[in-house]
Amino acid sequence: MNREPNHRLKYYLAPLEGLTTYVFRRAYHKYFGGIDKYFTPFITGRGLSSRGQNEILPEHNAGMRLVPQILTNRADEFLELAGQITDYGYDTVNLNLGCPSGTVTAKKRGAGFLEFPDELKRFLDEIYAKCPIKVSIKTRIGISDISEWERLLQVYAEFPMGELIIHPRLQREFYKGQPHRDAFRRAQESISVPLCYNGDITSHESLSTLLEELPSVDTVMIGRGILQRPYLPALFKGDIQTDSTENILPSLRAFHDELLEGYQAIMSGDLPTLHKMKDFWAFFSCGFESPEKYLKKIRKANKITDYKIAVNDLFQACPVTFSGCTGCRSCCTPKEKTPPPP
Ligand SMILES: Cc1cc2nc3c(=O)[nH]c(=O)nc-3n(C[C@H](O)[C@H](O)[C@H](O)COP(=O)(O)O)c2cc1C
């Protein structure tokens, strides 16, 4: 397995609704970095909500290259949001065609829009004609059968997209099974837009396997792998020299504490803050050896003081684990959140 630093690849942080918020990204950028582009979790509705605004405010994203993401199937809604995003100085907006959650797809949004390629094409015709800034797309490869991918590729080939980010799974697969790497290869052969690979990169091993199978990939987007092991891109790039617990634990701790303080500063009361932190630990705990006993205490905590004791115990007792997580019930089979009401 190749563990040499990879300076050729570009690394993107995947958007994860409720998890990779601006509070997360800010703390992440301070302690780990190594990310070439950050994406906001999806923004939806008519016009920017205060949540959407907070995600994209330049002062909340200082020093980062950020791409705001929109989830909609209505061109007027997309263009209104994209117009507001443009006013904040952004030069690219991303369209979510990947969310597999039932409540989203039932409304023909996210991956649900992929079932209607002709309608999708009309939508793209309008937004590419009128959007004042570049539009990139994040997509799955179809709904229930990989044969759907060919038609979608034909549609995508018609548009001058800044970038196409592909999570090569079907909507019906959610996060199960292996990503269809052959579908990514098919995109490499058939369209000329810049491509980014996304899916299941959680360790040196998984990155090496990907690059053996798809050697010309030059950009990868990582989601759950970064929540489990936030230092992963810095490690891949060689910015961190070794992957030992002593080397990595202090920054994991400082990052965690800043995340907690960040949420405490904007949320009212212990419970909403703890809710956020517990969602984060569903992934973050997978970066530690045998965290279960401590994780249970974290999950049970209803007060910040109890939570802090449980977190201290975990940091003291559990060494960092460097092998990727495969098949756990917490981060490997996540439920994607449904969008908040507009
Ligand atoms: C809890 C959760 C929330 C997500 N939210 C979004 C989102 O807002 N926008 C989006 O494009 N993808 C979203 N995704 C999908 C991820 O961006 C990514 O495509 C997926 O997790 C696969 O990449 P990974 O294996 O590196 O995690 C979400 C995934 C999860 C598990």
pLDDT tens digits, residue range 48-83?
999 999 999 999 999 999 999 999 999 999 999 999
Closest-CA residue to 320 (of 256, 239, 237): 256
341 has a pLDDT exceeding 50: no
Distance in Å, CA 305 to ligand 1 centroid: 31
CA-closest residue to ligand 1 atom 23: 199
Range of the structural domain that residue 40 is part of: 10-237
Residues 107 and 205 grouped into a single domain: yes
| Residue 233 within any structural domain of the chain | yes
200 has a pLDDT exceeding 70: yes
- Rounded mean pLDDT, 206-221: 96
Distance in Å, CA 317 to ligand 1 centroid: 30
| Residue 117 within any structural domain of the chain | yes
Number of structural domains in the chain: 2
- Rounded mean pLDDT, 187-205: 96
Find out whether 32 and 255 touch, Cβ atoms under 8 Å.
Answer: yes
Cβ < 6 Å from ligand 1: which residues?
A: 14-17, 19, 41-42, 69, 96, 98-99, 138, 167, 198-201, 222-225, 334, 336-337
Residues 93 and 198 grouped into a single domain: yes
Residues 184 and 281 grouped into a single domain: no
Residue type, 290: S
pLDDT of residue 339: 52
How many other C-beta atoms are found inside a 10 Å radius of the C-beta of residue 108?
A: 17
**Token representation of residue 17:** 């609704």
Cross-strand bridge partners of residue 166: 139, 197
CA-closest residue to ligand 1 atom 28: 16
| CATH number of the domain that residue 166 is part of | 3.20.20.70
Candidates 16, 93, 113, 228: which one to mutate for ligand 1, based on the most atoms within 8 Å of Cβ? 16
Rg (CA), the chain: 20
Distance in Å, CA 262 to ligand 1 centroid: 22
Find out whether 2 and 212 touch, Cβ atoms under 8 Å.
Answer: no
Cross-strand bridge partners of residue 70: 43, 95
pLDDT of residue 142: 98
Share of the chain above pLDDT 90, in %: 88
Find out whether 197 and 166 touch, Cβ atoms under 8 Å.
Answer: yes
| Residue 197 within any structural domain of the chain | yes
Whole-model pTM: value is 0.96
1 has a pLDDT exceeding 70: no
Mean per-residue pLDDT of the chain: 94
337 has a pLDDT exceeding 60: no
Residues 288 and 153 grouped into a single domain: no
Domain boundary residue, one of 183, 217, 237: 237
Residues 179 and 293 grouped into a single domain: no
User: Could you give the CA distance from residue 342 to residue 303 in angstroms, rounded to a whole number?
Assistant: 31
Residues 161 and 24 grouped into a single domain: yes
pLDDT tens digits, residue range 108-164?
999 999 999 999 999 999 999 999 999 999 999 999 999 999 999 999 999 999 999
Taking the mean position of all CA atoms in its chain, how far away is CA 107? 22
Closest-CA residue to 14 (of 266, 202, 265): 202
User: Could you give the CA distance from residue 181 to residue 183 in angstroms, rounded to a whole number?
Assistant: 5
Residues 77 and 123 grouped into a single domain: yes
* Torsion region of 110: left, alpha or beta (phi above 0 gives left; psi -120 to 50 gives alpha): left
Residues 138 and 116 grouped into a single domain: yes
| Residue 108 within any structural domain of the chain | yes
Closest-CA residue to 234 (of 32, 91, 14): 32
**Token representation of residue 167:** 């999570």
Q: Return the sign of the alpha-carbon dihedral for residues 212, 218, 224, 228.
A: positive
Residues 196 and 298 grouped into a single domain: no
Distance in Å, CA 246 to ligand 1 centroid: 30
Residues 215 and 298 grouped into a single domain: no
239 has a pLDDT exceeding 90: no
Taking the mean position of all CA atoms in its chain, how far away is CA 17? 8
User: Could you give the CA distance from residue 246 to residue 319 in angstroms, rounded to a whole number?
Assistant: 9
- Rounded mean pLDDT, 32-37: 95
Residues 47 and 134 grouped into a single domain: yes
Distance in Å, CA 15 to ligand 1 centroid: 6
Three-class SS of residue 125?
Answer: helix
Per DSSP, the residues of 233-272 read HHHHHTSS----HHHHHHHHHHHHHHHHHHHHHHSSSHHH
Domain boundary residue, one of 179, 206, 237: 237
Find out whether 266 and 57 touch, Cβ atoms under 8 Å.
Answer: no
Distances (CA, A) of 114 to 44, 166, 172, 250, 310: 18, 13, 12, 44, 44
pLDDT of residue 342: 44
User: Could you give the CA distance from residue 142 to residue 137 in angstroms, rounded to a whole number?
Assistant: 14
| Residue 169 within any structural domain of the chain | yes
**What dihedral angle (degrees, nearest 10) is formed by the CA atoms of 262, 265, 266, 268?**
130
Q: Return the sign of the alpha-carbon dihedral for residues 128, 134, 138, 141.
A: positive
Distance in Å, CA 247 to ligand 1 centroid: 28
Distance in Å, CA 223 to ligand 1 centroid: 6
| Residue 322 within any structural domain of the chain | no
Candidates 69, 336, 338: which one to mutate for ligand 1, based on the most atoms within 8 Å of Cβ? 336
Residues 303 and 202 grouped into a single domain: no
User: Could you give the CA distance from residue 255 to residue 252 in angstroms, rounded to a whole number?
Assistant: 5
